[in-house]
Amino acid sequence: MPQASTQVPEGYVKAFFRPRSLSDAKYTYCPGCHHGIVGRLIAEAIDELGIQDRTVGIAPVGCAVFLYQFYRVDFVQAAHGRACAVATGIKRANPELVVFSYQGDGDLAAIGTAETVHAANRGENITVIFVNNQVYGMTGGEMAPTTLPGQRTTTTPEGRDVRLTGYPLRISEMLAQLDGPAYITRQSVHDVRHIQMARRAILKAFRNQLEGKGFSLVEIVAACPTNLKLPPPQANRWVAENALKYFPLGDLKVKGG
């Protein structure tokens, strides 16, 4: 990441800036982790919409628990899985705020399933960024609700056996069945083209809130190179070749569109 103080050599023009709403804090993520990309896309959306001084983020439990350090916006750290309930409380208390939660697959699709489904069903006017990397990253790589069939994790050492542990939960498809949500989409950030698409989706999910359209969720199918035990380029390929087969990309619900 280029720092604000980076010297620009003579004859060069600085073209890549840190978004205003990102702080100077260094990411605590592992090399190649997709959280960093998603985090930046959120900051770009906040900057583009000019909402830095009215945005409140909700940090989950998991690798993104330190999220509050990375932004120059107000932040609340929620209990594991409860981010959508906390976001509901904030938004109802002060509808002028722009409230977003940032949650992993364990947080949103296992322990927080009820809070997620009901916030979506109420059409709560919040923005949810859901990073699905198919594993519990922070606790050491256990099986997540989204772990692929056959995928090895520390709690599925022989690979996920669907007869014992069920199938990966496609929660975005589930939510898309509800009348409440305004926008449910699945994106990825494993290459530049997809990063640009994810960027537009995140921007839309925030804009929806400003326009009072209601619950918007962007799922990002992401890589956890550390727990996949793959170098970042191979981890990106793993997402494209394996995860996206189970989690196809695209808009699942766009209300009125």
> Interface with another protein by CB under 8 A: which residues?
52-56, 58, 65, 68, 71-79, 82, 85-94, 96-97, 114-115, 117-118
The helix, strand and coil proportions of the chain, stated in percent and rounded to the nearest 5, come to 40, 20, 40
Residue 112 or 168: the one with the smaller Cβ distance to another protein is 112
Residue 207 or 237: the one with the smaller Cβ distance to another protein is 207
Tokens 């705020």 — which residue? 97
Residue 88 or 216: the one with the smaller Cβ distance to another protein is 88
Taking the complex as a whole, the smallest distance from the CB of residue 219 to another protein amounts, in Å, to 21
Taking the complex as a whole, the smallest distance from the CB of residue 38 to another protein amounts, in Å, to 19
The secondary structure element, H or E, covering residue 83 is: helix 83-93
Residue 13 or 93: the one with the smaller Cβ distance to another protein is 93
Taking the complex as a whole, the smallest distance from the CB of residue 152 to another protein amounts, in Å, to 28
C-alpha separations of 73 from 54, 67, 78, 116, 225 in Å: 8, 10, 16, 23, 29
Taking the complex as a whole, the smallest distance from the CB of residue 25 to another protein amounts, in Å, to 12
Please give the distance of CA 144 from its chain centroid, rounded to a whole number.
Answer: 15
CB 119 within 8 A of CB 88: yes
